[in-house]
Amino acid sequence: MGHMGHSLEAKHGEGLMSTERRKLLATGAALSGLATVPGAWAAGSDKPEKEEVRIGFIPLTDCASIVMAAALGFDKKYGIKIVPTKEASWAGVRDKLVNGELDMAHVLYGLVYGVQLGIAGPKKDMAVLMTLNHNGQAITLSRKLAEAGATDTASLARVMARERRDYTFAQTFPTGTHAMWLYYWLAAAGVNPLKEAKVITVPPPQMVANMRVGNMDGFCVGEPWNHRAIIDGIGITAATTQDIWKDHPEKVLGTTADFARKYPNTARAVIMAVLEAGRWIDASLSNKQKMAETIADKAYVNTSVDAINQRILGRYQNGLGKSWDDANHMKFFNDGAVNFPYLSDGMWFLTQHKRWGLLKEHPDYLAVARQVNQIELYTQAATQLKVSVPKEPLRSAKLIDGVVWDGKDPRKYADGFKVKS
């Protein structure tokens, strides 16, 4: 942790960043302390306070670790019963989390932060217990647009400049991950998504049907709906989200702050069951195949197995004859690298909410992330399973436009984009 403090000091001087630095150092100290005391949290009984846990999910490949935790009985091992509950839209997930109909959910990272700050819906203190997956979403363009020459971000920008008309793109929730990947990708090519296009919100399972009837030129969504558009001959994959940000955070296990406070043993038990399920999925090709067969069922994603199983194995095609093996396909565990709720991951969504005018003022980025991301609960659960936990709560990445995000100066980062609202 030490060198993070020094680098911040060197970069920002003592004044402005000293409180943020102290907070980060304190987080680091807490982490390193926890890592050395496995089981120290079991104050008396670690029996789950609430044994049946209703976890909402949207029909997407990345609900798999929650579904498999229940299907394979990892939940029983930790004294809980996970009841996966299929939901129709992210707005529905939000409302049921807020009103307590759901205990937890497979949910968009940016949705949780939106609720925390009261943008795109009600305001309520929320909690991110862990990250469920990295990578594995994509941007689909209509076949009609592809035939006009738009097959990637640069050619799309050229077509939009040449053929002036209203272009409509869909995302899945205003503050969610898909909206942010779509906007970032378009903006990297100089297209302002809010000024030069119309953006609509469509639930993931309805994307393909909406494109089929001509309601949109492109969409950003999780799998299997991008691959489904190719199978159905109506769309092409113009980009994967791992092209935009390798190993980006995607869905999280979200709940309310009240639930995490009231039922900490239950929260840890769910984290452990889902960690085990993620580890199981990532362990082998045959496990991934079995997962695809399980979640394709109509109770879950309700699609054909072949729409799911190719991309989770990293076998991609773009719908125009190109195919490739992608090493950065959807990961659910990756030796624990996926699941730690990095503060910088949560803060990134806030920087984009500010960039696109969803937030009018700069929030206290680090304070919000520290409040939402339950690093202590996660670390306790991971330590029980001997899953390694990073030393620092910030990580660094270079995105598609060459800009580095490291979480250290979120205000400057948010204000630094040329294309914004």
Cα distances (Å, whole numbers) of residue 146 to 117, 197, 359: 38, 17, 34
Reduce the DSSP state of residue 344 to 3 states and report it.
Answer: helix
pLDDT for residue 76 is more than 70: yes
pLDDT for residue 14 is more than 70: no
* CA angle 69–331–80, rounded 5-degree value: 15
Name the strand (E) or helix (H) holding 199: strand 198-201
Q: Report the pLDDT value the prediction gives residue 10, as an integer from 0 to 100.
A: 36
Q: What is the mean pLDDT of residues 59-83?
A: 98
* CA angle 400–403–409, rounded 5-degree value: 140
Cα distances (Å, whole numbers) of residue 372 to 46, 117, 254, 301: 23, 11, 9, 28
Give the least confident one: 39-48, 168-177, 319-328, 356-365.
39-48
* Confidence grade of residue 45 (pLDDT, cut at 50, 70, 90): confident
pLDDT for residue 70 is more than 80: yes
What is the model's pTM? 0.91
Mean per-residue pLDDT over the chain, rounded: 92
**pLDDT, tens digit (0-9, with 9 covering 90-100), for 104-113:** 999 999 999 9
Q: What is the mean pLDDT of residues 353-379?
A: 98
Nearest to 341 by CA among 127, 67, 68: 127
**pLDDT, tens digit (0-9, with 9 covering 90-100), for 220-247:** 999 999 999 999 999 999 999 999 999 9
Q: Amino acid identity, residue 412? A: K
* Confidence grade of residue 26 (pLDDT, cut at 50, 70, 90): low
How far, in Å, CA of 333 to CA of 198, rounded?
36
Give the least confident one: 21-30, 75-84, 182-191, 335-344.
21-30
Q: Report the pLDDT value the prediction gives residue 20, as an integer from 0 to 100.
A: 55
Q: Report the pLDDT value the prediction gives residue 320, as an integer from 0 to 100.
A: 96
Nearest to 53 by CA among 71, 75, 77: 75
Domain ranges in the chain?
A: 1-36, 48-135+248-319+325-342+354-390
The dihedrals phi and psi of 237, each to the nearest 5 degrees, come to: -85, 115
The CATH fold assigned to 48-135+248-319+325-342+354-390 is D-Maltodextrin-Binding Protein; domain 2 (3.40.190)
pLDDT for residue 18 is more than 70: no
